[in-house]
Structure 1
Amino acid sequence: MSRRQVPRPDVPGGWGLGDDDTGCTVLHVDMDAFYASVELLRRPDLVGTPVVVGGGERGVVLSATYEARRFGVHAAMPMSRARRLCPTATVLAPHHEDYARVSAGVMEVFRSVTPVVEPLSLDEAFLDVSGAVRRLGSPARIGQVLRDRVADEQGITCSVGVASTKFVAKLASGAAKPDGLLVVPHARTVPFLHSLPVGALWGVGERTEEALARLGLRTVADVAHTPVATLVRGLGEATGRHLHALAWGRDERRVVAVVPERSIGSEETFSRDVDDPRLVHRELLRLAERTAARARARGVAGRTVVLKVRFADFTTITRSRTLRERTDVTREIHATARDLFDALGLDRARLRLVGVRLEGLAESATSPRQLVLGERTHGWREADSAVDRAGARFGAGSVRPATLLHRP
């Protein structure tokens, strides 16, 4: 089966297999109304009708078919408002195990085409297909193959953006929705971007958009033709330069191959229940050190730090925080885990177990690292590397944080 292509004459970019996709080896693939589409596999009788996936009356919308979206329903909207906007919609309870299963199948399709796959969530991912062109054809052809296989093997549709950078590829997939493919040739990247509103720029939220509006900037073209110095004065050094670069299609981020292994972590069951926060902080440092060392040994870094706490009555909770960049640094992992623990506000609660886990793994050699203004050339990452070398020569634990030298 060949998926249809959706021409977009309102978008100054290409949209078919005939366009010049030379150098456009970055693909962004996004499932269409993912949760709702998976639910329709259970309920084919509802295809073509407004369907909303979500919780009870006090819950929020998780997904909605495009028939429901025409009434203004969208994800994260309160269910009560969704029902008012579209009273004829069928509301379905979510089945998260089905979403995970279909997502795994979709990602397997991606990895059969290229090993350089960077999932962003269950239903979208970036792909670098530069190594697959000789074997499978042009990037646009590969995008078409992916759409066919996802539809045939998983029964759902997806939209594909093909471009020379991650930023433009993601915009292209959004413009192609639903069930479309859009190529933005490298030579037409700037006209494509300059037709968009400023809100399309990566990193522009509500406050930044308001700040741009105060400067009289409504479109990406406006931003592009504004002096960098003006943007820096109005938005700050980092944001001003970042948006100016994006407005001209400059995006240095590479697609990072995320390791299929889901996580690396460590946990400790106390010999007796513990209620002293100082002891918990100390144990979190030990677990962070162990987790970070394992990550470095495998050559990976993670973006999400997860804290696990089990109480004396065996009740278990987890808390997580996603960092701006992936890390394998003990100090960063420990600081995040400690903040997560302190945010729980436990008042001498008796704990049986704590754990620290690192998720969203990718090869550390290919993970980009943003330099921080004023950051020293050598710091904690280099210190960890020195500890690893000492451990390899003199044995694990030969160099440790002073806090961990004596166990109480």
Structure 2
Amino acid sequence: MGERAHDILGWDGPAVGLLDLDAFFASVEQLDHPEWRGLPVIVGGSADRRGVVSTASYEARRYGVHSAMPSAQARRLCPDAVWTQGNFARYREVSAAVMDILSAETPLVEQVSIDEAFFDVTPGRFSRESPIGICRRIRARVASLGVSCSIGLGVNKTVAKIASERDKPRGLTVIFPGTEGSFLAPLPVSALSGVGPATERQLAAMGIHTLGELAKASPRELEGALGVTGPRLVVRAAGRERSRVAERAVPDEAKSVSNERTFDHDLTAAAELRAAILHVASMTGRRLRRRGLAGATVTLKLRYADLRVRTAQRRLGSPTNDEHVFGPVAVGLLSSLWSEGTPVRLVGVGLS
């Protein structure tokens, strides 16, 4: 159900939103370079150095270009595109401004990547205003920054995430409480985050192709096929997931503070990885400062596409909680863990 839903219908129960910035990196580049507006813009590594596309503007997507595509292929599809390596510091700056907009509406904001965040606007928790009205205001305030976002609103994270992808760019898709089952049922199982190609094949072998079929599946059979993840998928496919939007609590006596990000596509280019490390480091620094903590040992963690995990550490001269100090140190650890072209699924940065 899109924006045509009337606020008069009200909202009963949890209200969880997912804000997704539209073609974020490319949108920032078009904001900062007005002459690029309306043109196909590709942010990514060089086609001559086996780079990959990080983000493609909607103009470039019309040619079939998408994120994680080899740059050489993107150049063949869209030879007249404007290419840029990107400016990650600028992207972080705009992302922080967007997160400030969310934080002004509710203290329950869970940033999951530089361009995505869940937020809780359950009526009566922090505001008596309609969740739909709040989402409209958020979208308008983001637009005033010069970039756009799409928002999904539902009773939990699963519904909000899928809804946010229904109407892009600049969409607001509202799934009212009680309608999540019918919304999810016809969708393919691949629409559920966490269901990759391997899981999709396993489900297909069991005759399960849609979320409606998954919702009716036997949790016991799914557990036998997929382990503990199986029954959870059944609950999520039915729209019955209970979501808590909040940062993971870190005890006051914590010996370390860290942040991780799992990427939708594997990172294979050095520029992408360096940018990702600096972004994750900025989130770790923010968490450290919020808790009044500092650390002197930097840890970089990488999880590869084959699920192997490697870590490296380096001790600083003195404790800090400034990502501008420990972030470059984390980047410096990259060469000891990774070689060009090796696909990386997750990046983590910690301070202890």
TM-score normalised by length of structure 2: 0.71
The answer to whether the Cα contact below 8 Å between 2:14 and 2:155 also exists between their aligned partners in 1 is yes
Give the drift of 1:44.
1.8
**1:16 is aligned to 2:7:** no
2:246 alignment partner AA = V
The equivalent position to 1:39 in structure 2, one of 5, 29, 39, is 29
The equivalent position to 2:20 in structure 1, one of 21, 24, 30, is 30
Give the drift of 1:34.
0.4
The equivalent position to 1:77 in structure 2, one of 69, 83, 96, is 69
Aligned residues: 285
| CA pair 357-210 structure 1, distance change in 2 beyond 3 A | farther
Structure 2 counterpart of 1:176 = 167
Structure 2 counterpart of 1:163 = 154
| CA pair 112-134 structure 1, distance change in 2 beyond 3 A | closer
Greater Rg over alpha carbons, structure: 1
Partners of 1:359 and 1:203 lie apart in 2 by: 33
The equivalent position to 1:239 in structure 2, one of 229, 254, 264, is 229
Structure 2 counterpart of 1:256 = 246
The equivalent position to 1:194 in structure 2, one of 161, 165, 185, is 185
Q: Unaligned 5+ residue runs, structure 1?
A: 1-12, 260-294, 307-317, 329-335, 361-408
Partners of 1:338 and 1:36 lie apart in 2 by: 28
Q: CA RMSD in A?
A: 3.7
Deviations 1:165-221 (A, max 9, x none): 011011111112111101001111000010110011232111111111111211111
Partners of 2:83 and 2:28 lie apart in 1 by: 14
Give percent identity, aligned residues only.
40
**What pairs with 1:81-230 in structure 2 (closer than 5 Å)?**
81-130=73-122, 135=127, 137-152=129-144, 154-230=145-221
After TM superposition, the structure 1 stretch with the greater mean CA deviation from structure 2, 244-253 or 18-27, is 18-27
Q: Please state whether the residue corresponding to 2:67 is helix, strand or coil.
A: coil
Q: Please state whether the residue corresponding to 1:175 is helix, strand or coil.
A: coil
Partners of 1:32 and 1:319 lie apart in 2 by: 22
Partners of 1:359 and 1:26 lie apart in 2 by: 31
Give the drift of 1:355.
9.0
The answer to whether the Cα contact below 8 Å between 1:115 and 1:257 also exists between their aligned partners in 2 is no
| CA pair 131-23 structure 1, distance change in 2 beyond 3 A | closer
Q: Unaligned 5+ residue runs, structure 2?
A: 262-275, 289-297, 303-308, 324-352
The answer to whether the Cα contact below 8 Å between 1:198 and 1:219 also exists between their aligned partners in 2 is yes
Partners of 2:27 and 2:109 lie apart in 1 by: 23
| CA pair 162-305 structure 1, distance change in 2 beyond 3 A | closer
2:96 alignment partner AA = A
| CA pair 221-343 structure 1, distance change in 2 beyond 3 A | closer
Partners of 1:101 and 1:174 lie apart in 2 by: 24
> 4+ runs of 1 displaced by more than 4 Å?
131-136, 298-303, 336-340, 342-346, 351-360
Q: Please state whether the residue corresponding to 1:253 is helix, strand or coil.
A: coil
The answer to whether the Cα contact below 8 Å between 1:17 and 1:140 also exists between their aligned partners in 2 is no
| CA pair 150-298 structure 1, distance change in 2 beyond 3 A | farther
Deviations 1:343-395 (A, max 9, x none): 4799xxxx8758999999xxxxxxxxxxxxxxxxxxxxxxxxxxxxxxxxxxx
Give the drift of 1:253.
2.4
The answer to whether the Cα contact below 8 Å between 1:14 and 1:183 also exists between their aligned partners in 2 is yes
**What pairs with 1:41-56 in structure 2 (closer than 5 Å)?**
41-56=31-46
